[in-house]
Amino acid sequence: MAPRKRVSHSLENVVEATIDLLDESGEGALTFRALATRLGGGVGSIYWYVSSREELLDRATDEVMGRVLAETDALVDGPDPIGNVRAVSLAMFEEMVRRPWLGNYLMRNTSVQTNSIRIFERLGQQLMTLDLSPKQRFHAVSSIISYVVGVAVDMAQPPPREFFESGLEPAEFMKAFADGWRAFDADEFPFIHQIVDEFERHDDVDVFRSGLDMLLAGLRQQAGA
């Protein structure tokens, strides 16, 4: 059999390679040329399966959200609906910590991203047993998702270039950064001084969980439970 002169792709292949590229080297590394090289083919071929870079990212996002959906299937049967919402939110957030590129493209093009709607539905269903108006439910789910995605996007931001230039360990750089805060005038920035120690040793997930619990406490209160 003569060796193939051409590679053969598929939408699954392309999306898979896209996700791998994003996972390994971040969003900046996702170029059509890099993707083509990884697939062993030419640049133009990708456009057969996908009509733009944006669609590429949408499809990758939707695929990952599908997996999140599958993984959170079991988290939704607990007795406390708000607890279930909390569990799903945490799982979502953790996925976005693992994949810093994810947050930026979530909740974008809902016509392609079917699985985002399913997450929305899943969270909303939990609130259907609570004593809330449809409007309150809609607001609550929207806010929770915005919070989850917002914090994840915030925290996914790559460290400033000064970090790479310094060659410091993360903890050392954090210390240096906190010291910069400590150098602020104590009278003008009393709050900064009060929390700078917490800031220096904080864990992103803790902060996220803390805010999520505030949000859910407010929701619980609203539901009169």
Instruction: Kindly list the residues in this chain that would bind a second copy in the complex (CB under 8 A).
Output: 107-109, 111, 117, 120-121, 124-125, 127-128, 134-144, 146-147, 149-151, 153-154, 157, 160, 162, 180-181, 184, 188-192, 194-195, 197-199, 202, 206-208, 210-219, 221-222
**Span 19-78, contacts to DNA by CB under 7 A:** 30-34, 39-45, 47-49, 51-54
Of 7 and 70, the one with the shorter C-beta distance to DNA is: 7
Q: How many CB atoms lie within 10 A of CB 40?
A: 12
- Decide whether 3 or 79 has the Cβ nearer to DNA: 3
Task: Name the residue nearer to a second copy (CB basis): 20 or 206.
Answer: 206
Residue 14 is which amino acid? V
- Name, in order, each residue with C-beta under 8 angstroms of 26's C-beta and a sequence gap of 6 or more: 100, 101, 158
| CB closer to DNA out of 40 and 159 | 40
- Among a second copy, DNA, none, partner that 111 touches (CB below 5 to 8 angstroms by kind): a second copy
Q: 220 vs 40, 79, 217, 223, CA distance in Å? A: 53, 14, 5, 5
Would you say 32 or 138 has its CB closer to DNA? 32
> Segment contacting DNA (CB under 7 A): 5-13, 78-86, 200-208, 210-218?
5-13
157 is a site residue for DNA (CB under 7 A): no
Closest separation between CB of residue 8 and DNA, Å?
4
Question: Is residue 6 part of the contact set for DNA (CB under 7 A)?
Answer: yes
Q: Which is nearer to a second copy, 13 or 109 (CB)?
A: 109
45 binds, among DNA, a second copy, none (CB under 5 to 8 A by kind): DNA
5 is written with which tokens? 């002169």
The residues binding DNA (CB under 7 A) are 4-9, 30-34, 39-45, 47-49, 51-54
